[in-house]
Amino acid sequence: MELKNITKIFPGVTALNDMSIALQKGQIHGLIGENGAGKSTLIKVLSGVFSPEKGEILIEGEKTHFSNPIEAKKHGITCVYQELNIAKDLSITDNLFMGEYVKSKIGLLDYRYMNTKAKQIMDEMGQEIEISKLCGQLGIGQQQMVEIGRSILLDAKVIILDEPTSSLGEKEAKLLFEIVRKLKEKGKAILFVSHKLEEIFDLCDVVTVMRDAKHIATVPASKVTKDQLISYMVGRTLDNLFPKTPSKSGEIALEVKDFSSVGQYRDVNFQARYGQVLGFAGLVGAGRTELFRGIFAADKRDSGEVFINGEKQDIKNPAQAIKGKIAFMTEDRKLQGLVLSESVMRNICLVNLDSLKKGLLLDYKKIKKQAEDCVSQLRIKTENINKVVGELSGGNQQKVVIGKWMNVDADIYVFDEPTRGIDVGAKIEVYNIINKLVEQNKCVIMISSELPEIIGMSDRVIVMRSGKIMAEIDRVSDNFNQEDIMKAAWGGKL
């Protein structure tokens, strides 16, 4: 499949500017670029969601036009979008066959056939789940497998995956890669979008880089380095990916004693200090998010005590935690109060409106300034602060949520996967914000599954596995390296 000289314009933005890309049979093609570069828009043109203003689409050399995803599907093109399209109240079978229901000879839905087929597809993907289960009961990783299952069911020629690993754990991602490689062997043309360059090198045969709606380069993955790809993406060289500033070891800010919640975490004890970054490493599912949801009283725990500044706290709900000056930026940022139909400005100022008042009234000058500062600091790609958040690219929506939490006045900041889904340039901005908090002598806790980031930014690292602390490693220790942290995360002794 080939896109030639495609231009796509939204009011005020050119999202694709004379963009071309060719997908070959039996090849995995990586697509990378900064947030807002135009990747998802390109995919939506490929899969018939958007019609371009200019340019042509060729399938097996033949000029084609499709005006909706159903027509694209008929041409053998399927897509797993960045925002999943799963009907939560329907079963796996229903989700797989949606729009493609199979009927028996007498015209009734042939569930016997569909269930058998659904089971076979999920098995093929290594998913041993009851196919009558409602998709809402599945984890995000499994929901994604159902989406990919649709492409397999349709026996699509072209399979497009838009950031499929952004919400998957290590194990699930590995499994997904195996499935993708199998699809490649079957001769499918695959387009794979990701912000994780390691994945691009691991999986892809060729890589296309986009910047500002344009094609920048298409290169074989084996003939390019990470630094080269980064400079293609951002148009400049970034020499320090982890701009950590030196920190000091202050007083104990937060102390957690004997924290337990059956099936989630057990006997957790740790201290976090002011003026430092405490990293929480571990595999996805190690219980880190659950632990902090327990501390923040977003979920119930079975036992355990929390001390802030040496004083025992009785935190019963998140509101009390915020009063105790703990800010918690959770990992499921979209669910967590991004109002998609509202403007960038309103979203950024939502959590600290109280501090943006002049007497009893809102101070619009202050609100505007806070929003504008945030947009420029995090390089949020939007024409202006009045743009509706739902129209921003996926990564830029995430930046809005991050910006929102940056303005909360707290002493202890917990960031759960703060850089997931955002591009290299913006990651550095997030690290700079963390540095600033540390300089202001705040206590920062960073949960992250990305080891380079843990190593790059933490003063101390706690490694968790299956709900338990396996190791605590200081920055000056000999064990402060990726290999040893990984070893502890898998249950090895240091």
Ligand X SMILES: Nc1ncnc2c1ncn2[C@@H]1O[C@H](COP(=O)(O)OP(=O)(O)OP(=O)(O)O)[C@@H](O)[C@H]1O
Contact mark string toward ligand X, 135..164, x via CB under 6 A? ------------------------------
Find the shortest distance in angstroms from Cβ 80 to ligand X: 14
Find the shortest distance in angstroms from Cβ 410 to Mg ion: 30
Per rule CB under 5 A, is residue 38 in the interface with Mg ion? no
Strands 13-22 and 27-32: unpaired
Per rule CB under 6 A, is residue 10 in the interface with ligand X? yes
Cα→Cα distances 170→122, 146, 173, 400, Å = 19, 18, 5, 26
Q: Where are the beta strands (DSSP E) in 65-116?
A: 77-80
DSSP 5: E
Locus of tokens 């159903």: 70
180 residue type, one letter = V
Contact mark string toward ligand X, 167..206, x via CB under 6 A? ----------------------------------------
Select the span of 135-143, 228-236, 254-262, 394-402 touching ligand X (CB under 6 A).
394-402
Select the span of 7-15, 108-116, 227-235, 302-310 touching ligand X (CB under 6 A).
7-15
SS3 state of residue 291: helix
Tokens linked to 11? 């009011």
Per rule CB under 6 A, is residue 393 in the interface with ligand X? yes
- Report the residue from 396, 448, 449, 458 that binds ligand X according to the rule CB under 6 A: 396
Find the shortest distance in angstroms from Cβ 31 to Mg ion: 10
Chosen from Mg ion, ligand X, none, partner binding at 407 (C-beta under 5 to 8 Å by type): none
Tokens linked to 264? 């989630």
Give the strands of the sheet with 2-10, arranged side by side: 13-22, 2-10, 54-59, 62-64
Per rule CB under 6 A, is residue 273 in the interface with ligand X? no
Chosen from Mg ion, ligand X, none, partner binding at 143 (C-beta under 5 to 8 Å by type): none
Select the span of 21-29, 71-79, 170-178, 392-400 touching ligand X (CB under 6 A).
392-400
Inter-residue contact 285 to 440 (CB < 8 Å): no
Contact mark string toward ligand X, 306..325, x via CB under 6 A? --------------------
Find the shortest distance in angstroms from Cβ 235 to ligand X: 15
Per rule CB under 5 A, is residue 40 in the interface with Mg ion? yes
Select the span of 316-324, 326-334, 385-393, 468-476 touching ligand X (CB under 6 A).
385-393
Per rule CB under 6 A, is residue 41 in the interface with ligand X? yes
SS3 state of residue 199: helix
- Angle (CA) 260-262-265 rounded to 5° is 50
Phi-psi region of 436 (alpha: psi -120 to 50; beta: other; left: phi over 0): alpha
Phi first, then psi: what are they for 82, rounded to 5°? -60, -45
Quote the CA–CA distance of 406 and 475 in Å, as a whole number: 25
Task: Indicate the residue whose CB is closest to ligand X.
Answer: 395
Measured between its terminal Cα atoms, the distance across the chain in Å is 50
- Report the residue from 381, 420, 427, 442 that binds ligand X according to the rule CB under 6 A: 381
What count of other Cβ atoms lies within 10 Å of the Cβ of residue 215?
A: 21
Q: Which residues pair with 59 in a beta bridge?
A: 62
46-85 residues in contact with ligand X (CB under 6 A) are: 82
83 burial level (CB within 10 Å; 0-12, 13-18, 19+): exposed
Residue 13 or 234 with smaller CB distance to ligand X = 13
Residues that bind ligand X (CB under 6 A): 10, 13, 15, 33, 35-41, 82, 381, 391-396
